[in-house]
Every structure is written in C-alpha cells, then in structure tokens.
C-alpha cells in the first residue's frame, strides 16, 4: 500500500492507494471517532462493496443510504434524503459519514457531511478511476443545479481517502476511459513527463494493467495533493484543475446531466481549450495534434455535440465559478505541461473556437 498526504495543517489527511484495502478493517476504523456511522453509496456500488464495509464496522451503529445511480440525481433533493436518514436515526455531531462510490456519491456525501449540524467527519472511499484520481481528493463537495453544474457546494476535507484499486475490476470500460480524461489533464496543466508517459503507455492502461493503473493513480493524486496543499480554496493555482471544464460543464448542463459522462465532457472541453490556446498563439499545431491524438487513442470523445449551438455555449459558460462579475474566464495552455491561471479572452477569439473547433 502507498500512503500520500494532503498537507493542510490541522486538516491534513492521508490518501491510501493499494489493493485489498477494503478488507483491512483497521485502515477504516482508525479514522472513525464515533459510534454512529452513515454509509452513503448508490444502488450500483452497494451490491459489490457495501458488505465489506458492513463487516468491518460491526462494532458501530451503522445506517446505509443507497442513492439512485446517476449525475441527474446529484441534487439538493437527494441531499435532503441523507439529512432525513441522519435525523431519523438521531445521529449526533460526532457521527462519521462514509462516501462509498464514484464522484457523484463522493461529492454528495461530502456536501451532506459539510452541512449536517454544520459539519461532521467524513471518509472518502472512491470506486471509479475518476474519483480515485481527482474528486475524492481536495475537499470539493456539492451538487448540480438545473441552471449550472456543481453550483451549490462547499469546500470540506475528508478524514482520509481509501483508494482500493481492486474495485476498478467491476467498472465498465466507458467509465474507466472517462476517468482518464482527468488523468490526461494533470499532464497538460503541470506534468509534461506524465503526459509523455501516457502517450507511451496508454495501451497498458486500457488493458487494465495493474501496475500501470497504480502508477497513474499515485501520480495523479500526488499532483492533486500538491495543488490543493498550495491553494485549498482556489484563489489561484487550483483553478488550473479546471482545464476544459468550463466548456465541459456547459456540455453536461446543456445536454442534460448524464448524457455525456463528466470525463467525456471534459475531454471535449480540453479540445476546445487547446484550440483556443492555439489561436492565442501559445500552443503549436504539433502539440495540439498530440493532445487530440492522446484523447482519441484513449477512446475519449473530442467532437462537440451537434445539438448545441454557440449562443447556448456562451450562455451556459457565463455560469461558472471562475467567472468574475459575470465575465467568462478560462484556463488555457501555454504549452503541454503549463496552464494559465483563469483569464478573460477576447470574445471574438472565443467565438472562433466555438464556431470552428471540430475535434
């Protein structure tokens, strides 16, 4: 097992990465300082992995809530169901919430934990590639609104993250591939050597080679932990993690939550961001081609959805957490391995990208 740390003074916590971690009772129990535990999971993940937790937690009062599966249920309505369960069972302020699932369950569980009685401890047990490399680390929690993706939420750090790679065995290929969009993102924004490694080793990852997957999860978590330690509340460098996300979130909201997976929408968004970076005179044609080629080889979509028009994109992109005074601000690439902080771009250049980028 590998242990990384997110260094945030008194809020610091470990990320455990390895195999057979769900079977290690102490790993989990050592982070629980209460008798009452609520497991938040969903109807897909529960049949596979809930029993491991239940077995490890026999000494506790354990309740479980199984959410419906899907991005469309990442709403305040279902957060309220978590509160109902906590209140019906008279859970106190020292109760621990465990989020067992992908990014949707993790974001929702974390947000419920942040709000219940103004904050109860929580533990992330991420079960998708995307959640293991990105969403379980760093304390961004929240839900979607019909008018904007992830627009309601809180920064709230977990007690620990337990990333058991064995759970990825049951993940389908589309989800595995979607998670790799966030992995490629790390290479693009700050780790050119990782990008080159991905160019060489993508076939092994797609074949689910365990050592390649372990390497990718560790290196991604390392990148994320360093960024979060430097800028927990996204006043600067953390925003670079949003490369492609302003376009991607517009696609997720515009097409209806769940139509495109988050990682798929981010992949198309990275294509848009790369195109705009090229128009700014920063990214070379060769590097643009390398980016699109890696996304395609990974099996990620790069073509914008035909159903969305430019006006709709601009409308949706004006609802984004990086915007200032309603003005769109984007993360772009100076080169592979170097991202800008959020910048306002010339509207006509942005429109050129929105009209012309074709993947």
Q: Does residue number 219 form part of the binding site for ligand GLY (CB under 6 A)?
A: no
**Binds ligand GLY (CB under 6 A): choice among 71, 134, 191, 320:** 134
Q: Which is nearer to ligand NAD, 48 or 60 (CB)?
A: 48
140 belongs to the binding site for ligand GLY (CB under 6 A): yes
CB nearer to ligand GLY: pick between 46 and 266: 266
Cα–Cα distance, 306 to 151 (Å, whole number): 25
Is the alpha carbon torsion for 98, 117, 151, 80 positive or negative? positive
The dihedral sign for the CA sequence 183, 13, 21, 261: negative
Q: Which is nearer to ligand GLY, 233 or 355 (CB)?
A: 233
Q: Closest distance between ligand GLY and the C-beta of residue 273, in Å?
A: 14
Question: Pick from 117, 120, 118, 136: which is nearest to 128 by CA?
Answer: 136
Stretch that binds ligand NAD, among 134-142, 199-207, 228-236, 348-356 (CB under 6 A): 134-142
- CA dihedral (355, 179, 151, 119) in degrees, to 10, reads -170
Angle at CA of residue 280, ends 279 and 286, nearest 5°: 60
Nearer to ligand GLY, 39 or 161 (CB): 161
Asked if 44 interacts with ligand NAD (CB under 6 A), we say yes
Piece in contact with ligand GLY (CB under 6 A), picked from 57-65, 133-141, 151-159, 320-328: 133-141
The answer to whether 249 contacts ligand GLY (rule: CB under 6 A) is no
For ligand GLY, how many residues bind (rule: CB under 6 A)?
5
Residue 189 in contact with ligand NAD, rule: CB under 6 A: no
Judged by CB under 6 A, which stretch of 125-133, 134-142, 264-272, 304-312 contacts ligand GLY? 134-142
Nearer to ligand GLY, 74 or 279 (CB): 74
Classify residue 263 by its DSSP letter: H
The residue among 149 and 278 lying less far from ligand NAD, judged by its C-beta, is 149
Gyration radius from the chain CA atoms = 20
Q: Which is nearer to ligand GLY, 241 or 339 (CB)?
A: 241
307-310 long-range CB contacts below 8 Å, 24 or more apart?
Answer: 307/254, 307/255, 308/250, 308/251, 308/254, 308/255, 310/351, 310/354, 310/355
- Residue from 31, 185, 262, 322 in contact with ligand NAD (CB under 6 A): 262
Three-state SS at 289: helix
Q: Which helix (H) or strand (E) holds 44?
A: none
Binder of ligand NAD out of 167, 176, 205, 239 (CB under 6 A) = 167
Cα–Cα distance measured from residue 47 to residue 94, given in angstroms and rounded to the nearest whole number: 28
d(CA 262, CA 225): 21
164 binds, among ligand GLY, ligand NAD, none (CB under 5 to 8 A by kind): none
Q: Which does 42 bind (CB under 5 to 8 A by kind): ligand NAD, ligand GLY, none?
A: ligand NAD
- Closest contact distance (angstroms) between CB of 223 and ligand GLY is 11
Strand partners, 63: 38
Return the axis-axis angle of helices 210-230 and 192-206, rounded to nearest 10°. 150
Rounded to whole angstroms, the Cα distance separating 175 from 81 reads 26
> Closest CB to ligand NAD among 175 and 259?
175
Footprint of ligand NAD on this chain (CB under 6 A)? 42, 44-45, 48, 69, 71, 74, 101-105, 107, 127-128, 130-131, 134-135, 138, 140, 150, 167, 170-171, 175, 178, 262-263
């Amino acid at each position: 097992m590998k242990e990384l740390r997110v260094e945030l003074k008194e809020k610091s916590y470990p990320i455990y990465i390895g195999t057979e971690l769900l079977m290690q009772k102490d790993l989990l129990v050592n982070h629980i300082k209460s008798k009452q535990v609520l497991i938040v999971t969903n109807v897909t993940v529960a049949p596979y992995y809930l029993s491991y937790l239940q077995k490890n937690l026999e000494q506790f009062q354990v309740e479980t809530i199984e959410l419906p599966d899907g991005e469309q249920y990442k709403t305040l309505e279902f957060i309220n169901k978590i509160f109902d369960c906590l209140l019906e069972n008279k859970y106190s302020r020292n109760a621990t919430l465990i989020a067992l699932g992908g990014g949707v369950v993790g974001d929702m569980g974390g947000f419920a934990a942040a709000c219940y009685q103004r904050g109860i401890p929580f533990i992330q047990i991420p079960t998708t590639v995307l959640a293991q490399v990105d969403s379980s680390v760093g304390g961004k929690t929240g839900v979607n609104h019909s008018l904007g993706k992830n627009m309601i939420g809180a920064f709230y750090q977990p007690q620990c993250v337990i990333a058991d790679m064995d759970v990825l065995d049951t993940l389908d290929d589309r989800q595995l591939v979607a998670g790799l969009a966030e992995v490629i993102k790390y290479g693009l924004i700050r780790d050119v050597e990782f990008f080159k490694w991905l160019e060489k080793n993508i076939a092994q990852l797609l074949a689910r080679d365990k050592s390649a997957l372990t390497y990718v999860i560790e290196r991604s978590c390392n990148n994320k932990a360093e960024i979060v330690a430097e800028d927990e509340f996204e006043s600067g460098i953390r925003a670079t993690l949003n490369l492609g996300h302003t376009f991607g979130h517009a696609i997720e909201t515009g097409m209806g939550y769940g139509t495109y997976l988050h990682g798929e929408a981010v992949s198309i968004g990275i294509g848009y961001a790369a195109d705009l970076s090229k128009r700014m005179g920063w990214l070379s044609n060769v590097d643009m081609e390398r980016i699109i080629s890696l996304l395609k080889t990974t099996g990620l979509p790069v073509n914008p959805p035909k159903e969305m028009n430019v006006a709709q994109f601009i409308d949706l992109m004006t609802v984004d957490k990086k915007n200032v005074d309603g003005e769109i601000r984007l993360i772009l690439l100076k080169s592979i391995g170097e991202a800008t902080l959020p910048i306002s771009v010339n509207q006509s250049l942005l429109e050129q990208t929105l009209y012309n980028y074709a993947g």
